[in-house]
Amino acid sequence: MSAQTAYFITGTDTEIGKTLTTSALLHALARTGVRAAGMKPLAAGAEMRDGVLRNDDVDAIACAANVALPLSLTTPYLLREPAAPHIAAALEGVRFDIDHILACYRQVAAAADAVVVEGVGGFCVPLTEQLDTADLAQQLALPVIMVVGLRLGCISHALLTAEAIAARGLRLAGWVANAVDPQMRFQAENVDTLRTRLAAPLLGVIPRLPVVSASAAASYLDCSSLPNWPVAGPAASSTPFSPEAKEV
């Protein structure tokens, strides 16, 4: 049996909150009582810790999921160099194989009720001479959630990313605004502009968090409009959870 609920997380750039959003979605899914697994198929920027190659994003996603799976499945390509994936892969003599990633995804989906897959960088980051992350998203064919980093220029970045998603025949199922620049002026106005121009629901606005955590970020999201979002059952945690998106 394969997961009934699955999403692909992309962003308007790198370092704009994809991992935080992925972790928040996993936390929210787990709160409904389903078995939620996370994937970051490609991660660049890892270091040895206690004899194990670790990446902060990969670790955060694993902590937010309630299904523990081997790293070889959830992150089949873990690279040391903190660089664009095709550059890091060339330095380490690695060649990305999308078919291998798809095979790993199928195994993850078979072990969970819900899967959240985080892409790397922006939507069109190169993987090889011919392939990019948009090709991976297209092959996975999952509903896409776009994370918009709130900073100067985010409107154009978001609209261009949405166009690229549509050009691949994919559904933009929702978007999340994440406050990455504390000095940004007119945040609310930028969000309102995107709300009127993007043909997908705003799932929430995540402000600058005093303590960054999946649970804190999840409290600012309302995921109920997402396709196949599960309804909380008796196995869900009894801790209250408000799905209402809060404005910054």
- Give the model confidence (pLDDT) of 108-126 as tens digits: 999 999 999 999 999 999 9
Element (H, E) at 86: helix 85-92
Element (H, E) at 146: strand 144-150
**Catalytic choice (18, 27, 31, 40):** 40
Distance of CA 28 to the CA centre of its chain: 13
The per-residue pLDDT for range 42-94, each reduced to its tens digit, is 999 999 998 888 999 999 999 999 999 999 999 999 999 999 999 999 999 99
Mean pLDDT of the region 22-37: 97
Predicted pLDDT at 231: 86
Q: Is 18 a catalytic residue?
A: no
Mean pLDDT of the region 197-203: 98
* Averaged pLDDT of the chain: 92
Closest by Cα among 119, 203, 141 to 2: 141
Predicted pLDDT at 2: 77
Would the pLDDT of 244 be above 50? no
Hey, CA dihedral for 50, 89, 105, 166, is it positive or negative? positive
Mean pLDDT of the region 3-28: 96
Between CA 142 and CA 7 the distance in angstroms is 5
Between CA 49 and CA 70 the distance in angstroms is 17
Query: Phi/psi zone of residue 68: left (φ > 0), alpha (ψ -120 to 50 degrees), beta?
Result: beta
Predicted pLDDT at 10: 98
Q: Where are the domains of the chain?
A: 5-218
The per-residue pLDDT for range 137-189, each reduced to its tens digit, is 999 999 999 999 999 999 999 999 999 999 999 999 999 999 999 999 999 99
Predicted pLDDT at 233: 60
Instruction: Tell me if 198 sits within 8 A of 175, measured CB to CB.
Output: yes
Predicted pLDDT at 247: 34
Would the pLDDT of 208 be above 70? yes
User: Which residue did the predictor score with more confidence, 237 or 164?
Assistant: 164
pLDDT band, very low/low/confident/very high, at 241 (cuts 50, 70, 90): very low
The whole-model pTM stands at 0.92
CATH of domain 5-218: 3.40.50.300
